[in-house]
Amino acid sequence: MWQYLWAHIVFHTVRMFPRAHRLAIRIVLLAASAMLVAIPIIVMRLPHSSDYCKQDLMSTAVAMEVFIIFMFGFVVVFSVQEPLLPRLPVVFHAYGAACTLFTIVLAVIVSGADTCRATTPELHSLLLVALIAGFVSIAVVAVLAVLWIIDWYRPGSVLDSKGKRGLMYELTQIFPCLWVVGENAVSGAREECERPMKVKV
C-alpha cells in the first residue's frame, strides 16, 4: 500500500510548485523513486537472500518489486503528464486496491517467517519494513477516506473552500493537496490544489 501512497504524494507534490519551477522537484522525486526500485533488487542479490527459508520470502520480494515497478511508472506519468488521461485515476485506484490486498498477504507471510530472521535476515527485514510502511499507509488513507465520505454525505461539514469553513479548512490552507485524490475532488478542493504556490525569489 505504501507504493500507492508514494505515487499519490508525488502527484500532488509536483503540482504544489508553479509549472515553471517543477523541473528540480521532478528530478528529486524521480531519483527517490528510482532508489525505492533499486533497494529490493540489491537486497535480493545479497548472498544470504537465497538461503533456505520456511516461507518463500524471495518470491514475495519479487512480487513486491513488481508493484514497485508499477509505482515507478505511475510516478513518471504523474510527474510529467499534464493533464492526465481521464481513465488513469481509475486505473491508479485499482492499483491501490491491489496494493492493499498484497499488504494483507504480506502480513500473513511475514508473520509465519520468524525462523527466516536467522537464515535470510536482510530479506526478512526488507519485507518487515515494507509491511509496516504498508499498514501505516492503509491507516492514512483510511482516515482520509472517512473524511471524504463524511463530506460527501454532509457537504461542507469537513471542507468548504468557498464558504471558508469546515473541519479541514485551516489544514488545507497549509497543505491544499492533502484532500484531493487523483482527479476527484470535493467542495472546491481541486481548485485549491491546482493553484500554483507562490515562490519568492
The pLDDT score that the predictor gives to residue 186 is 39
Judge contact between 30 and 132, C-beta under 8 A: no
pLDDT: which is higher, 136 or 175: 136
User: At which residue does the C-alpha cell 471524504 appear?
Assistant: 148
Please tell me the pTM assigned to this model: 0.74
DSSP 80-108: H-SSPPTTHHHHHHHHHHHHHHHHHHHHH
Does the pLDDT at position 183 exceed 60?
no
Closest CA to 78 of 130, 33, 40: 33
Beta carbons within 8 Å of 141's beta carbon, 6+ residues apart: 1, 4, 5, 96
67-99 confidence digits (pLDDT tens): 999 999 999 988 887 777 778 888 988 999 999
Does the pLDDT at position 185 exceed 50?
no
41-71 confidence digits (pLDDT tens): 998 888 877 777 777 788 888 999 999 999 9
